[in-house]
């Protein structure tokens, strides 16, 4: 029990601190040599990110490929797993991490301390920690890092102006890990320069962006591109000028095109000032309604980045219909490693099972890139909860190969992170992570209902907190039932899906329980397929969710976690248990007060 964890996160297989390097192949050589692995490296630039590990251990690959090969080899050896055979190629060329770090040093939805990159309006980082981060990202294949919040707040807009020299220095560090930087930009930035408009069809605006982008690429020739949140939650955008989002995105894309940069345009557009009395407007329909008609109008280097579900990273959502709709547009699916609605990196919530579901429904071929909101911060362990690193780790490998099995990813993370664990302990850790999402789901909003979270910070229950609000997030509970009919007879949201998904969900009786209340309005006395009423199922789930969390706590206490992971994980588990009980009691009380139904097993309802 007294072991001390000496390496950050899963990097136990990399001995010591890496010196400054300047190119991925140089990093690869250093890592192999210092790990005592005598593997010849052969750089074949045409291979790019791809690599192959020969029978003799020789690694052939592009400049980044050899680095990925080196890490893969070292990880396989450390975890005692077989080496991958044949040429390994990532599924997507852009495997992005979006950090929501503000220039002032705080992080929007950050649960691991302050920013690793910024403080007091400017860059302020520890180069050694940047190199550790570079190792973390490269070891799992993440190759694009957007360092600033999509809400470009405070002085963050300066990043692409007088902040360029500093941005270039950071890019130098990450270049050695095959990681290219990206920046979130402010669509209205020309207004800061005496141009009276940000209209994307205005020549002065186009010229400003083209010239400024030339300067940006003069400083950082391999910048991955710009990330934009426009016309969303009060951010400026093309709507203000009567233009659509193809106009807006293409204008910026054309400034980037000569430099090979991508324009990543987030599709998180909805009416955040909805009248709660309005039952016709249905927020999940918004993104599809806005963007589907624009399919085919976007330039080649535009990527539309779409959250995996139609709402906003809720615990359980169906796949966004927009991801299935845009066949002539380059798309990225967006996940959120930051546990905004999923437990704040206090409660355990391992995400790979959820990604698996999304990709099984969506099909990996429907997107050309993948992004995730980061869960990093200045905490010593980088992710607040030591196990939250499993999400970052798995995300990288999943982005490389979206056919990956969740259990294999989490198991590899466990073996690398806690090499002292026995086989039984590894299995026990992996089991715990594999069921963590199902447990969290069970004690929070029932059956895909969403938005029962406390509106102050999004941790803990708030059954009615979003019910009379302007966010388009309603459950419409009353004394008879709960939920919104999103079928053809209701808001019609379900009609945005292709037939095979529509058919899965449209019949309330056959709709999978997990999304029953996402798609249907149900009475409390409606009987589910297992013979229980809806209300009894809600009660049962919440009591069971807490029991399972308690069992998880027991498992956790039995694991020989090294310090300080053990103390951090145990302390957070106590908070998770308190949170789970609070969720159970509030959700059950809320529905008990509406339904009047007693619990079939006589457990306490308040």
| Contact footprint for a copy of itself (CB under 8 A) | 276-277, 456, 461-464, 468, 477-480, 585-586, 589, 592-596, 606
For a copy of itself, the closer of residues 236 and 462 by Cβ is: 462
For a copy of itself, the closer of residues 178 and 461 by Cβ is: 461
550 catalytically annotated: no
Locate all alpha helices (DSSP H) within 444-533, ordered by sequence: 499-506, 516-519
Residue 574 phi/psi, 5° resolution?
A: -60, -40
User: What's the closest the beta carbon of residue 492 comes to a copy of itself, in angstroms?
Assistant: 21
For a copy of itself, the closer of residues 315 and 587 by Cβ is: 587
CB-based contacts of 207, cutoff 8 Å, min separation 6: none
For a copy of itself, the closer of residues 548 and 592 by Cβ is: 592
Residue written as tokens 């049962």?
Answer: 540
CA distance 519 to 502: 10
CA distance 554 to 512: 31
Determine which one of 31, 199, 282, 340 is catalytic. Answer: 340
Q: Alpha carbon of 557 to those of 263, 411, 553: distances in Å?
A: 47, 19, 6
Strand partners, 371: 96, 334
Which residue in 182, 291, 165 sits closest to 228, CA to CA?
182
Q: Residues 77, 245: contact at Cβ < 8 Å?
A: no
User: What's the closest the beta carbon of residue 278 comes to a copy of itself, in angstroms?
Assistant: 9
Cis omega (within 30 of 0) for bond into 240: no
CA distance 264 to 584: 40
Longest pairwise C-alpha distance within the chain? 72
User: What's the closest the beta carbon of residue 49 comes to a copy of itself, in angstroms?
Assistant: 48
340 catalytically annotated: yes
User: What's the closest the beta carbon of residue 582 comes to a copy of itself, in angstroms?
Assistant: 8
For a copy of itself, the closer of residues 290 and 581 by Cβ is: 581
Give the count of alpha carbons within 13 A of 215, CB side only. Answer: 14
Residue written as tokens 């490389």?
Answer: 400
Determine which one of 312, 361, 441, 506 is catalytic. Answer: 312
Q: Residues 181, 170: contact at Cβ < 8 Å?
A: yes
Strand partners, 331: 304
Q: Tell me the two tokens of residue 222.
A: 């391999």
Q: Give, to the nearest 10 degrees, the angle between helix 352-362 and helix 406-417.
A: 150
User: What's the closest the beta carbon of residue 588 comes to a copy of itself, in angstroms?
Assistant: 11
Buried b (16+ CB within 10 A) or exposed e, 320-347: bbbbbbbeebbbbbbbbbbbbbbbbbbb
Q: What is the DSSP string of 297-327?
A: -S-TTEEEEEESSSSSS-SS-PPPGGGGT-T
For a copy of itself, the closer of residues 195 and 469 by Cβ is: 469
45 catalytically annotated: no
Buried b (16+ CB within 10 A) or exposed e, 165-181: ebbbebbebbbbbbbbb
User: What's the closest the beta carbon of residue 479 comes to a copy of itself, in angstroms?
Assistant: 4
User: What's the closest the beta carbon of residue 586 comes to a copy of itself, in angstroms?
Assistant: 5
For a copy of itself, the closer of residues 303 and 482 by Cβ is: 482
Q: Tell me the two tokens of residue 61.
A: 């690959």
Strand partners, 336: 373
Q: Residues 281, 308: contact at Cβ < 8 Å?
A: no
Determine which one of 26, 233, 247, 431 is catalytic. Answer: 233
Q: Residues 334, 307: contact at Cβ < 8 Å?
A: yes
Residue 372 phi/psi, 5° resolution?
A: -145, 140
Which residue in 112, 62, 71, 128 sits closest to 393, CA to CA?
71
Q: Residues 428, 408: contact at Cβ < 8 Å?
A: no
For a copy of itself, the closer of residues 51 and 466 by Cβ is: 466
User: What's the closest the beta carbon of residue 137 comes to a copy of itself, in angstroms?
Assistant: 38
User: What's the closest the beta carbon of residue 464 comes to a copy of itself, in angstroms?
Assistant: 4
CA 529, 532, 533: angle at the middle one, nearest 5? 105
User: What's the closest the beta carbon of residue 274 comes to a copy of itself, in angstroms?
Assistant: 13
Q: Tell me the two tokens of residue 515.
A: 């999304």
User: What's the closest the beta carbon of residue 455 comes to a copy of itself, in angstroms?
Assistant: 8
For a copy of itself, the closer of residues 279 and 557 by Cβ is: 279
For a copy of itself, the closer of residues 180 and 584 by Cβ is: 584
Q: Residues 62, 46: contact at Cβ < 8 Å?
A: yes
For a copy of itself, the closer of residues 281 and 420 by Cβ is: 281
Which residues are tagged catalytic?
A: 233, 312, 340
């Amino acid at each position: 029990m007294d072991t001390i964890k000496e390496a950050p996160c899963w990097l136990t297989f990399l001995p010591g601190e890496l010196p400054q390097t300047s190119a991925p192949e140089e990093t690869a050589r250093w890592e192999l040599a210092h790990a005592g692995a005598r593997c010849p490296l052969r750089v074949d630039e045409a291979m790019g990110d791809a690599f192959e590990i020969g029978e003799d251990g020789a690694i052939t690959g592009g400049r980044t490929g050899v680095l990925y090969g080196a890490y893969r080899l070292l990880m396989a050896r450390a975890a005692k797993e077989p080496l991958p055979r044949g040429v390994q190629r990532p599924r997507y060329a852009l495997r992005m991490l979006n950090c929501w770090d503000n220039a002032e040093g705080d992080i929007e939805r950050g649960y691991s301390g302050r920013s690793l990159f910024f403080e007091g309006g400017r860059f302020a980082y520890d180069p050694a920690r940047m190199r550790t981060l570079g190792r973390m990202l490269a070891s799992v294949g993440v190759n694009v890092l957007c360092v600033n919040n999509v809400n470009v707040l405070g002085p963050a807009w300066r990043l692409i102006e007088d902040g360029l020299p500093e941005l270039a220095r950071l890019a130098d560090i990450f270049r050695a890990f095959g990681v290219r930087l990206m920046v979130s930009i402010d669509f209205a930035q020309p207004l800061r320069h005496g141009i009276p408009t940000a209209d994307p069809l205005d020549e002065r605006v186009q010229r400003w962006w083209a010239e400024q982008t030339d300067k940006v690429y003069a400083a950082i020739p391999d910048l991955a591109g710009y990330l934009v949140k426009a016309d969303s939650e009060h951010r400026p955008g093309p709507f203000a000028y009567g233009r659509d989002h193809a106009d807006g995105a293409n204008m910026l894309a054309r400034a980037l095109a000569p430099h090979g940069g991508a324009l990543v345009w987030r599709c998180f557009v909805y009416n955040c000032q909805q009248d709660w009395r309005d039952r016709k407007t249905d927020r999940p329909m918004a993104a599809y309604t806005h963007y589907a008609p624009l399919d085919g109008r976007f330039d080649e280097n535009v990527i539309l980045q779409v959250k995996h579900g139609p709402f906003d990273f809720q615990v359980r959502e169906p796949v966004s219909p927009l991801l299935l709709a845009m066949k002539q547009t380059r798309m990225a699916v967006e996940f959120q490693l930051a546990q905004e609605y999923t437990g704040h990196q206090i409660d355990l919530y391992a995400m790979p099972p959820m990604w698996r579901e999304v990709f099984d429904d969506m099909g990996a071929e429907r997107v050309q890139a993948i992004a995730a909101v980061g869960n990093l911060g200045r905490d010593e362990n980088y992710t607040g909860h030591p196990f939250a690193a499993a999400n970052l780790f798995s995300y990288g490998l999943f982005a490389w190969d979206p056919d990956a099995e969740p259990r294999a990813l989490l198991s590899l993370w466990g073996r690398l992170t806690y090499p002292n664990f026995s086989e039984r302990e590894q299995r026990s850790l992996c089991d715990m992570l594999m069921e963590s999402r199902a447990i969290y789901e069970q004690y929070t909003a029932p059956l895909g209902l969403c938005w029962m979270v406390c509106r102050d910070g999004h941790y803990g229950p708030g059954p009615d907190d979003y019910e009379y609000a302007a966010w388009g997030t309603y459950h419409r509970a009353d004394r008879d039932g709960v939920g919104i009919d999103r079928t053809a007879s209701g808001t019609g949201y379900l009609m945005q899906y292709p037939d095979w998904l529509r058919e899965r969900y449209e019949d309330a009786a056959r709709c999978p329980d997990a999304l029953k209340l996402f798609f249907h309005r149900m009475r409390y006395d409606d009987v589910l397929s297992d013979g229980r009423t809806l209300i009894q199922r809600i009660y049962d789930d919440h009591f069971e969710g807490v029991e399972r969390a308690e069992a998880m706590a027991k498992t956790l206490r039995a694991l020989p976690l090294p310090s300080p992971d053990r103390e951090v994980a145990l302390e957070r588990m106590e908070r998770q248990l308190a949170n789970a009980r609070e969720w159970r009691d509030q959700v059950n009380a809320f529905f008990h007060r509406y339904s009047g139904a007693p619990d079939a097993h006589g457990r306490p309802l308040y």
